[in-house]
Homo-oligomer: A and B are copies of this chain.
Amino acid sequence: MNPTVGDFEGNVRKITDGIEHARRLGCRLVAFPELAITGYPPEDLLFKPAFIEANLRALDTVARATQGLTAVVGFVDKRDDIFNAAAVLHDGARAGVYHKQYLPNYGVFDENRYFQAGTETPVFAGGDATFAVNICEDIWYPSGPTRRQALAGAELIVTINGSPYYAGKASFRETMLATRAADDLVCVAFLNMVGGQDELVFDGGSVVFNQRGECLARGKAFTEDFVVADVDLDGVFHARLRDARRRQETLGAHEAVTRIVLPRLPAPEAPPAISPVLAERLQPVDEVYQALVLGTRDYVQKSGFKRVVIGLSGGIDSALVAAVAVDALGRDNVVGVTMPSPYSSSGTRNDARRLARNLGIEFLRLPITAVFNQFKRALAQPFKGLPEDVAEENIQARIRGTLLMALSNKFGWLVLTTGNKSEIGVGYSTLYGDMAGGFAVIKDVPKTLVYELSAHVNARAGRALIPETIITRAPSAELRPDQKDQDSLPPYPELDAILKAYVEDDRSVAEIESFGFSRETAARVARMVDRNEYKRRQGPIGVKITPRAFGRDWRLPLVNRFRE
């Protein structure tokens, strides 16, 4: 399910539609994601009492819709404090509540800022099945509630999640879930949110594992899906009977589990119509591409925009962003603008136009030379006698930013920016210039991966949607004659490796040198990263696809004299 933060009406509608669908299929139990009622993460909206109350009213509406089955729904519970909670709704009423016990407060997460941690561990006995519920972070702890609930008799663990995407996480997560199921001899139904919320993408891909750690069903990634499975709870019981290791384990006195008995329900009218599907796992580059598409679509549409505008330089970054935008929003909702200057080559001018034609998007041409010259006249007096330098380069980028924003203001189009992670890392970009816009689609994509994604776009299309000349030309900002990125930066494969070590892995310059890079290059890159924190702080958000993006999980001070 793809909820929207604060859209209680829309979220309730999605949930009640899902319950209705489950009922039609003859499901006994249906689950929805972590904080499905409010959307996730609601951040400081959680401090608004009116927000908490609206969420409780919404849950009541959902509860009334659960006649004849059981539903697990994420919401914010309010006692003397607030809790990240899962309601077990049964036959039209609230039967019990689970409070998340492990609150993540690292990376992109700030849950200690908002929630009290839960202390009670309920298990629900409902007719022929005993099941338990826990939430996201909880299941990552081998000695956490999953183990206690399984030891106390739960045959099925329903774990509801808002698990933010990064490349490769789904695979890691499935390995953990399979292990947890087999360790605790329990079926695990892992239910994940899908959709974009600001910089985060939730990748869906819900899965059900049996007590042998075998995958029974897997939902599609990056799109809403209704995943069904028939879990063999007798199989769990038999496996436990045969398991000597389990007999060695008992719950400690401090590990009390509450048992909640659910009223027995009549058998569903229709016989269960269940045909579990095992969706294919995505290939790594396709996975990233789909994350970019979904993150962009949801940011644009959930913010209330329909069309977007992109400055097309004729380079590979803006080409990739345009391709993502077309897949996210449809070609009719994407406008490309070329803004040539005297330093634009005929190659890039032509390529911008060819790209727009290939993608079938609207294309505008707004030359900047006259405005640039007028700016130079306006600054003639204070700049008198001084050579042209980065000041004049940035003026060109800022004229382009101003033109795109003027189109945005006039027509209500959202500006997508085109900077990649390598550029943004070292600050090879102009604040208020090419950084001006509402959403930075590829801000977490290193340049080397930009090339892979562009090749993927063409492979998928079966033709050079992104013209080959765009892919093969040496990258240039074209802000002065014959400028090339590689005049100012190390080669991108080297730069990306150093950036990963410094930014994502917290390695020092000395360590990076020990990996085989020159100390001078490593120090220069590190210094560029440090110096340009002020730019990143004022840049737009974009889709997180790595374990550490420049966003919620990158909190560096602006004033910082540390250099190592």
Contact = CB atoms under 8 A, between A and B. Distances in A.
B299 A559 contact: yes
Interface stretch (A169-177, A272-280, A533-541): A533-541
Interface in A87-130: 105-106, 110, 112-113
Contact of A557 (B5, B382, B395, B540): B5
Interface stretch (A142-150, A216-224, A262-270, A386-394): A386-394
A444 interface: no
Interface residues of A, number: 85
A456 B275 CA distance: 75
Nearest to A48: B506
Among A375, A511, A537, the one with the most B-chain Cβ atoms within 10 Å of its Cβ is A375
Nearest to A50: B508
Given A367-B378, A506-B47, A506-B49, A405 B409 contact: no
Contact of A561 (B10, B557, B564): B10
A560 interface: yes
A427 to B, nearest CB: 13
Interface in A1-30: 4-8, 10
Given A49-B506, A564-B51, A557 B42 contact: yes
Q: Which 7 A-B pairs have the closest CB atoms?
A: A6-B562, A391-B409, A50-B508, A7-B561, A391-B410, A432-B432, A6-B561
Interface of A: 4-8, 10, 41-45, 47-51, 54, 105-106, 110, 112-113, 196-198, 298-299, 302-303, 364, 366-368, 370-371, 374-375, 377-379, 381-383, 386, 389-392, 394-395, 398-399, 401-403, 405-407, 409-410, 431-432, 436, 438, 506, 508, 510-511, 534, 537-541, 554-564
13 contacts: A5-B557, A43-B556, A45-B560, A50-B510, A51-B562, A105-B110, A112-B112, A198-B559, A366-B382, A368-B378, A389-B410, A398-B398, A538-B539
